[in-house]
Amino acid sequence: MNQATSARETTERTIPFETEQLDRLMDQAGFDILLATSKHNIQYLTGGHRSQFFETMDAIALTRFLPVFVYRKGAPREAVYIGHRLEASQLAATSLWVGDVRAASTGTVDAVELAAERVDAGRPLRVGIEKAFLPVDAAEALAHALPKARFVDATWALERLRARKSAYELKMLREASDRVVDAMLAVMATQPPGAGKRAIVDALRHEEAARGLNFDYCLITAGRDLNRAPSEARWEAGETLSLDSGGNYHGYIGDVCRMAVHGGADQELVDLLAEVEAVQQAAFASVRPGAPGRVIHAQAGAALERCRHREHMHFIAHGMGLVTHEAPRLSTRGPVPYPDEDSNLPLEPGMVVSVETTLRHPRRGFVKLEDTVAVTAVGHELFGDRGRGWNRGGG
């Protein structure tokens, strides 16, 4: 299939990102042609396209799905999307802004070969690629097809392009967070004493799916056990439960943590969660346009130092969007280390940050809150802002 859109139709469609900004970022990173191959950047650059056939898998036969978006600096109307043959029906029913849409590839190698055909291979080129999302066989085929090209990693440029969310993206992230919280509260209210962790996660998977989410993961603790994997361990009467789950809504991630207890929370539990909440609130208060990213950790850290159980506590803030832990990148610490290149840069309206405070109590177990916060023109907005106290277990 070779589905091409007329120039007139393409002109009438809105490009979903600022082409001038992408051109500037490409200049700064040192490349003139972009070949994007990650599913999240394909979605962003095409204005929402996600292959329904490859939504939850990549492998097929002896190869894998590899979409390619081709963009030449200064020429957005010449953009190309190379999709898999199994996307033909979906693309025929979808109106993309991209002028040249081809559902023609069968795997990794022919995908990049088809993309290379849209580039002038006879002259020196600076080509931006996503090194972490380009298989070895595709990279070798691309180098062969473009022998005069110098390949540059485009990851940084694409991260900066996605850092400020559009109104549509903010709506998606708000919906994702709200729906994850609703799913958690439904599960907490119905699970009886003695429910197994694995069964609770299965119930959460069902509740998230019922709310239009793709279930990504759930980190779960019950009682004194600090192991966060689903298992046959049980949530017993009088014990705490922590659900930390990622639910995916049209590609955008709701990443939230909420707490529950079977029976009423005693004063010690109330006090423990209050310490966690105090750190969260300090972090929220620092989120405003123009403030350097480092103030989030600075203010949260100051609040944490005032906590009685600070030796057992940890705080981290990270960007959220189509990828968990994306720009703004605020800390080198945490489970996913990376340069904190945004810590000294100002927060901007449209940026979205996940803030999470954890208390690992040696006797009462795991106590945590995680929230998604958007930078607004005048301050900040919380998504999924409910269920923040001790929710009661069912039964």
pLDDT, tens digit, 9 for 90 and up, residues 37-59: 999 999 999 999 999 999 989 99
Predicted TM-score (pTM) of the model is 0.93
Please confirm whether the linkage preceding 328 is cis (ω < 30° from 0). Answer: yes
Range of the domain at 146: 3-162
For residue 67, the 8-state DSSP code is -
Say if residue 68 is in the same domain as residue 216: no
Contact assessment for residue 193 and residue 236, using Cβ atoms and an 8 Å cutoff: yes
For residue 311, give the CATH number of its domain.
Answer: 3.90.230.10
The token duo for 34 is: 């972009």
pLDDT band at 248 (very low <50, low <70, confident <90, very high): very high
For residue 111, give the CATH number of its domain.
Answer: 3.40.350.10
Look at the chain and report how many structural domains it folds into: 2
The token duo for 33 is: 């042609």
Say if residue 197 is in the same domain as residue 259: yes
Query: From CA 348, how far away is CA 16, in angstroms rounded?
Result: 19
Q: Which of 112, 142, 162 is the last residue of a domain?
A: 162
Residue 264 vs residues 16, 109, 185, 239, 261: alpha-carbon distances, Å: 49, 59, 16, 10, 7
- Nearest alpha carbon to residue 394 among 263, 280, 300: 263
21 vs 9: which has the higher pLDDT: 21
Say if residue 153 is in the same domain as residue 173: no
Least confident of 16-20, 253-257, 334-338: 334-338
Q: How many residues does the chain have?
A: 395
**Residue pLDDT, tens place only, 266-304:** 999 999 999 999 999 999 999 999 999 999 999 999 999
Q: Which of 162, 189, 210 is the last residue of a domain?
A: 162
DSSP H or E segment with residue 76: strand 75-84
Say if residue 11 is in the same domain as residue 155: yes
Say if residue 174 is in the same domain as residue 156: no
Say if residue 380 is in the same domain as residue 347: yes
pLDDT band at 1 (very low <50, low <70, confident <90, very high): very low
Contact assessment for residue 129 and residue 155, using Cβ atoms and an 8 Å cutoff: no
